[in-house]
Structures are given as structure tokens and as C-alpha cells.
Amino acid sequence: MISFRCTLPVLAVISLLPLSPVSGETIRESELKRIELNKKYDKYKLREKSDFVTDTSEKFLIEPAPEAKDRNFIVAEKPPTVKMRIIPDMEPEYFLDMEDEDGAYMIAWANWGRVTRSDDNRFFFAVSDHRGQGCHLNLYEYSPTRNVLHKVLDLKELFGWTDNTLSDGKIHGHMGIMPDGTLWGATHYGVYPDSTWYAAGYRGSWLFSYNIHTHEAKNHGVPLIGNCLPCFNVDTVRGILFGTGYTYTCLAYDCFNRKVTYAGYPPDGWIWWRRAMLCDLETGKFWTTDDSDDKHRFISFDPALNRFERYEVSPTPSPVTGHINVLRGYTDRPAMDGWYYCCSKGERGPAGRAFFRFKPVVVASLTRSPRIVITPLDEPAWYLKVGASSLSPDHATSKSVKVRS
């Protein structure tokens, strides 16, 4: 385990536009086009500023075209005020020809995971360039109270990656902050790691922590050899990080005691759908849907017992296609009415999605097995909205690998 303390540059941030082209070197053709787009559409000259810019306009209140499918809205009386800023420290700003270009389905600065909020109302997220060799991966903090958003951690430095290191390319899951202020997360690949990567020393996703009060960061290594973790969530009450990836193996990691508590596959051929990881803080169970057949029944994992369970309950069928699809989006915690609000995965876009409510009701019994309640939302117009999907579908094929517990 490696640890170090980070300095905190006092810079604010918000947008993902690069600042200026690389001088004296050959820039990829696609990047030249992006430079021109930035010049054309950066109307507020954000790329030239180092502070927030505010904007408000009555045009924000213009109603959608009358033929829009969803008319279930109310128009505000006053337009909102929007603050914008370029995120700092995204270097290189534009990309040169690279050996890993063919293996990457996207090379660009972007945030691939969820934004994590602390109890004192600060927000943390990661931005990376998605490369497979020497990836630049930064953790940022936004403080509304101080009106500052800045880089707090260089993960490339923490992991000891060099420009020649075969590395992961982003953070793709849901980071969590423990009661003592320690944020936990895991990386995921940007370029698919084939057999040549493992032969060259690549092992899988890195695990890290960063304390938002003391600014101490630690590299906890690769806890699950041979797997990456595009989908993970953190139980911040019990200190459990649970994740899965493109090999369909699952990892449970005890962050409080720094040890792996489960590493392996779900039983009976069940497949933990690798793009959903709902964490129910009341029970400490993690939830998704089974991707081994077209019923897509709900399954859970209880870290206290290291036990998977599958239930004879599926997401609501799509009102457009009639198909049952896997769980894709969900609220981080129950709403005031006690329900998680969810949507299923679309088919070739958002049209096949269904929106529904989900509640794992705890039943007092020796098995601690919950009863699941599913309720379709009764406003059909919602079914055609884009919904709460992740930013990045990964186009990787599954492989079987040996794992160490």
C-alpha cells in the first residue's frame, strides 16, 4: 500500500473544454476539428478565463415544440442562473497520434462516473483522458460554499503510472465517502486489456482512498486480479465496496479492515448485470438484475453473509416494446416516500426503457430475506425520456479468468 499527501491548488472548475492547442507538435486530425468547434461555440471565451462565468436568459423559459411527446412540465416564472468554468489541469489539452488510438473507443477528457457528495456539501468527481497507456486521471472537488472547484488528487502519480505504463483509463463506478471523510473508489480500463497487457504486467482495477479532510491518499493495489470494475458502489455505513466487471466476477472489499471478503462468481450461473449496483444502506445489501436469461430477475448480495439471492421479481416491462430489460438507472437513496426510483435499460436508445419504483422490504426472519415490491410509474410520457443512464457503454467481450480470494 502506498500513501502520500496531496497539495490543493486553489482553482475553480466546471466544464470539459480543452484550453489551447499543443504547440510545436503534430495534432491528430480529429483534434484539429475539435479545436475549430471549440473556437466556434465557446461564445463566453471560457477557455481564456480562470473563474466562473454566469449566464441567465429568458430563452431558458421557451417551451418545447408543441409536437414534443412529453407535455408534463411547468414553466418557471424566472429563468435560472447558471455558473460555468473550465476544469483545470486537463493536460495534454489536445492529443497527438498515439499507439493506443486503435484500441480506444474514445480518447477525450471526460467524467465517466457519478458525482459524490460529502456530508458538508462538497462534491467529488473524476476526469480522465481515457487512454490505455499512461492515462491522466484526476480527482476534483467542488465547494459551493467557497465557490471553488479544483483538482485534489493526481491518481496517475498515486499509482506510479508512467507515460509507458499500461493503465486503466477512468473511474466508472460510484465513489463513496466514509463517516471519517475517507473517499473510496476503483479504476476501470479505457482500452480493453488483452492477453498482451497481462503478459506485460497489467493486473486489473486499482483501488484507492482519499481523505477529504486530511488530504491523505492511499493506493491499495489491485484487489481482484484479472478483472476491472466499471460497476461498483460503496456502503459507507458498514465500509464495504462491492463491484463487478467484464469477467462477471464480483468483489467485496472491507474498507475498514483493508481486506477482500469475497472474490468470485455468483452461484448457479447467475450473472450480476455489470451496469447496476444499487446499495440499500438500511440493510447493507447490494442489488442488480440477473443477466443470465431474459427474465432479468432481481438478485442481491449480502456482504455480512457472503450470500447471493435471486427473487422471482423482474423490472416492469417496457410499455413501448413489452420486453423486460435489466436494471440501468436508480436513485442513490430512497425518496421521501421510501421508494427507490429506477429505470431499465433501453433497446437501441431510450425508447425501450421502463420507469418503476423499487422497495426491498425487510422481513423479520432467520433468513433476513427481503420481500421486493415493484410498482410501475403511471405516467406513460416518462417512458420516452433519456433517463438516468451512465455516460459510457463499454464494448468488451467477457472472458473466464481465475480469481484469488
CB atoms near residue 98 (< 10 Å): 15
- Percent of the chain scoring above 90 in pLDDT: 54
Span 161-183, average pLDDT: 95
Cα–Cα distance measured from residue 174 to residue 281, given in angstroms and rounded to the nearest whole number: 14
For residue range 76-129, list pLDDT tens digits in order.
999 999 998 888 888 888 877 655 555 566 788 899 999 999 999 999 999 999
For residue range 286-337, list pLDDT tens digits in order.
999 999 999 999 999 999 999 999 998 899 888 888 899 999 999 999 999 8
Written as one string, the DSSP assignment of 79-98 is ---EEE-BPS---SSS-B--
Averaged pLDDT of the chain? 82
List Cα–Cα distances, 372 to 29, 300, 302, 304, 306, in angstroms: 52, 11, 15, 20, 20
Instruction: Please check whether residue 159 is in contact with residue 220, taking contact to mean a CB–CB distance below 8 angstroms.
Output: no
Q: What would you measure as the largest C-alpha separation in the chain, in angstroms?
A: 70
Q: Reply yes or no on whether the pLDDT at 11 is more than 90.
A: no
pTM of the model: 0.82
DSSP 29: H
By C-alpha distance, which of 241, 372, 380 is closest to 314? 372
| 3 state DSSP class of 400 | coil
What is the spatial order of strands in the sheet that 327-330 belongs to? 327-330, 340-344, 355-361, 371-376
Q: Please give the radius of gyration of the chain, using alpha carbons only, rounded to the nearest integer.
A: 22
What pLDDT, on a 0 to 100 scale, did the predictor assign at position 48?
A: 84
For residue range 187-238, list pLDDT tens digits in order.
999 988 989 999 999 999 999 999 999 999 999 999 999 888 999 999 999 9
Cα–Cα distance measured from residue 215 to residue 208, given in angstroms and rounded to the nearest whole number: 13
19 band by pLDDT with thresholds 50, 70 and 90: very low
Instruction: Please check whether residue 105 is in contact with residue 162, taking contact to mean a CB–CB distance below 8 angstroms.
Output: no
What pLDDT, on a 0 to 100 scale, did the predictor assign at position 353?
A: 85
